[in-house]
Amino acid sequence: MTINPDQVINFSRTHRLQWEEAQQKNVILYPEGMVELNESSAEILKLCDGTRNLAQIVSDLEQKFSTSGLTNDITAFLEVALQNGWINQN
């Protein structure tokens, strides 16, 4: 499974992304399970809202953090997210 660069990316409707005050981190919740996210992973996933494709997510994040060259890292993370079912492109 790979990311289609032309299609927008959605966060899965059967998972929930949420800030956990007690843990001071974002987590993904799904049936009987939880994944703890680091800050950059959470920033990427928050932009998977069905309005942006890969290039738009990269450019938004590069702008937000005043940096460049994030394409490879973001693509690699999104492919892991896709394989885990956290995001989809349907």
Partner 1 sequence: MAGLIKTKPTPPRWLLAELTYACPLQCPYCSNPIDYTKYQTELDTEDWKRVLTQARKMGAVQLGFSGGEPLTRKDLTELVKHARDLGYYSNLITSGYGLTEEKIIQLKEAGLDHIQVSIQASSQELNDHIAGTASFEHKKQVAHLVKKHGYPMVLCVVIHRENIHQMPEILAMAEELGADYLELANTQYYGWAHANRDLLLPTQAQFEKAEAIAQAFKETVTGKMKIYYVVPDFYEDRPKACMNGWGTTFLTVAPDGVALPCHSARELPGLDCPNVKDYSIEEIWNESKAFNFFRGDDWMKEPCRSCDEKNKDFGGCHCQAYLLTGDMYNADPVCSKSPDHGVIQQAIDSAAKSALSANEKPLLFRNSKNSKLLS
Q: Which positions touch partner 1 (CB under 8 A)?
A: 1, 13-14, 16, 18, 20, 22-23, 27, 29-34, 83, 85
3-state secondary structure string, the chain? Answer: CCCCCCCCCEECCCCEEEEECCCCEEEEEECCEEEECCHHHHHHHHCCECCCCHHHHHHHHHHHCCCCCCHHHHHHHHHHHHHCCCEECC
Give 30 or 77: the residue with its C-beta nearer to partner 1.
30
Residue (6 or 22) nearer to partner 1, CB = 22
Minimum CB separation of residue 52 from partner 1 in Å reads 23
Q: Which is nearer to partner 1, 71 or 88 (CB)?
A: 88
Q: How far is the CB of 58 from partner 1 (least distance, A)?
A: 24
Rounded to the nearest whole angstrom, what is the least distance from the CB of residue 59 to partner 1 in the complex?
28
Which one-letter amino acid corresponds to residue 81?
Answer: A
Amino acid at 71: T
